[in-house]
Amino acid sequence: MKRFITTILVVALTAVAAIAQTAPATATDVKLFGFEAGVSVGFNLNGNTTAGGTCFGLNLVVADNVTVGFQTSTIGAGFNTLKLSYFLNQSLGFSTNLGVSAGSPAAGLGVFFNLGKSTSANGLASSYKVKLDYLFQTANLATGVLAVTAAMNLGL
């Protein structure tokens, strides 16, 4: 329980630090919200095996460089998390996840790089990114999944 509370505090402090930073306007992929879908491959440290899966998410923009959303990933034991993403600039950022995996508390850390971003005249935006995430159950930090994901984001 102490680890779970510590994890919540770390995520909360990361959010405060991220919001306190400044970045160029519209550093996020989209201006209001976006849907994300991707394919993941990685290494499961629990069984020393390779793993594959998909990820889907809904992200809401809360600041010029911060999004909050829900993400589900089928890699490893499967993860359903609340995700906080902070964009350092229009290409690079990091994320923190907090949620559940197989009924146990779970968390994750990641970095992402936008390969391309476009916005149409009617406001529809899309981007393509590569993500590196470490997702784990909080009971044992050393037995998580290290995943590389190719994802697409589409939104307004």
Q: Which pTM value belongs to this model?
A: 0.80
Q: Based on the structure, what is the number of domains in the chain?
A: 1
114: left (phi over 0), alpha (psi -120 to 50) or beta: beta
- Please state the three-class secondary structure of the chain as a single string: CHHHHHHHHHHHHHHHHHHHCCCCCCCCCCCCEEEEEEEEEEEECCCCEEEEEEEEEEEEEEECCEEEEEEEECCCCCEEEEEEEEECCCCEEEEEEEEEECCEEEEEEEEEEEEEEEECCCCCEEEEEEEEEEEEECCCHHHCEEEEEEEEEEEC
Of the candidates 128, 105, 108, 104, the one whose C-alpha atom is nearest the C-alpha of residue 116 is 128
**pLDDT tens over the chain, length 156 residues:** 556 555 554 555 455 444 445 444 567 888 899 999 999 999 998 888 999 999 999 999 999 999 999 999 999 889 999 999 999 998 999 999 999 999 999 999 999 999 998 888 888 999 999 999 999 999 888 889 999 999 999 999
Say if residue 25 is exposed, middle or buried (CB neighbours under 10 Å; 0-12, 13-18, 19+): exposed
Domain that holds residue 51: 2-155
Across the strands, what pairs with 137?
106
Rg of the chain (C-alpha set): 15
Position 73, amino acid: S
CATH code, domain carrying 52: 2.40.160
